[in-house]
């Protein structure tokens, strides 16, 4: 995915939120309280509600974005930058996204790198990381050695 395609698909926070919700719906939501797998979406609260115990779960809960106040668009732009720029620093991302504070950017980048190493359970990070019509995937081998396989 190139920059033009990215900005056409993800032009604002609502586009990113809708994409994230669609991916989350495909992956399924598990209730933190009772472990239930059946939820419905509350449009008025922008949350999932468990059909069994009525516990509410935010869209970000249980993902790399949990407890973050940064916008979905900021997260998606960062994923794009990490995927397309080799050896980009947190400081570079902060400057390119015009963010004032460094600490949230550092936290976000490190969470994303961990998600990429472990394999993103929602597939959101991996689906956005398309470089030159190929995908880069990091797999763990023998719990200590890492290899990069290109598909």
What pLDDT digit, counting tens, does each position of 65-112 carry?
Answer: 999 999 999 999 999 999 888 889 999 999 999 999 999 999 999 999
Helix (H) or strand (E) holding 139: strand 134-141
Q: Is the pLDDT of residue 29 over 50?
A: yes
CA dist 68 and 77 (Å) reads 15
pLDDT at 136: 38
* Average pLDDT of the chain to the nearest whole number: 82
Of 29-43, 63-77, 118-132, which gets the smallest average pLDDT? 118-132
The 3-state DSSP composition of the chain as helix, strand, coil percent (nearest 5) reads: 40, 20, 40
């Amino acid at each position: 995915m190139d920059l033009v395609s990215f900005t056409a698909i993800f032009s604002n926070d609502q586009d990113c939120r809708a994409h994230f919700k669609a991916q989350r719906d495909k992956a399924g939501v598990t209730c933190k309280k009772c472990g239930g797998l059946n939820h419905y979406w509350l449009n008025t609260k922008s949350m999932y509600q468990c059909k069994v115990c009525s516990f509410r779960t935010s869209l970000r809960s249980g993902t790399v974005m949990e407890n973050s106040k940064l916008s979905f668009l900021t997260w998606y732009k960062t994923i794009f930058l990490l995927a397309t720029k080799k050896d980009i620093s947190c400081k570079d991302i902060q400057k390119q996204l015009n963010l004032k504070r460094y600490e949230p950017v550092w936290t976000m980048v490190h969470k994303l790198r961990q998600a990429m190493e472990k394999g993103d359970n929602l597939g959101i990070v991996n689906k956005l990381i398309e470089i030159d019509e190929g995908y880069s995937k990091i797999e763990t081998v023998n719990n200590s050695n890492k290899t990069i396989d290109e598909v």
